[in-house]
Copies of this chain bind each other. A is one copy, B any other.
Amino acid sequence: MPTLQSADRDIAEVFKSLGHPARVRMLRALVDGEKCVCDLVDAAGLGWSTVSRHLSVMKAAGVLSDEKRGKQVIYRLELPCVGRFLGCLEHPDRYPEMHATACCEKS
């Protein structure tokens, strides 16, 4: 059973792991479905080694999971609510009322 403090840390890790523009871009790509690292390199617009580290951080935080499939590694969004929360943040103007009251509901 995690202590309250370690729970704070774990939750902070989730937020922290997403707090970077390139990671937001990768996340957006992953909301549409699983992707290989090569796709995420395109989405991020950064070098392979850098993207690999970004992915490992999000995986360590529990946001993503990965699976080796043949020659490539596939990453998948492990917390669906992260995707909905992202959608909420992206459309505050389009759905102001929804944003205020129920932005994270299923569409």
A101 → B minimal CB distance (Å): 7
Question: Is the CB of A47 closer than 8 A to any CB of chain B?
Answer: no
**B81 and A88 within 8 A (CB):** yes
Question: Is the CB of A35 closer than 8 A to any CB of chain B?
Answer: no
Q: In the assembled complex, which residues on chain B have CB atoms less than 8 Å from the CB atom of A59?
A: none
Q: How large is the interface on A (under 10, 10 to 19, 20 to 34, 35 or more residues)?
A: 35 or more
**A81 and B106 within 8 A (CB):** no
Q: Among B12, B17, B84, B86, point to the contact of A20 (Cβ < 8 A).
A: B12
Q: Which of A54-70 contact B (CB under 8 A)?
A: none
With A12-B23, A12-B24, A24-B15 as known contacts, state yes or no: A100 contacts B85, CB within 8 Å. no
With A12-B20, A12-B24, A15-B16 as known contacts, state yes or no: A104 contacts B81, CB within 8 Å. yes
Question: Is the CB of A42 closer than 8 A to any CB of chain B?
Answer: no
The 6 nearest A-B residue pairs measured at CB = A104-B104, A16-B19, A15-B19, A15-B18, A8-B21, A81-B103
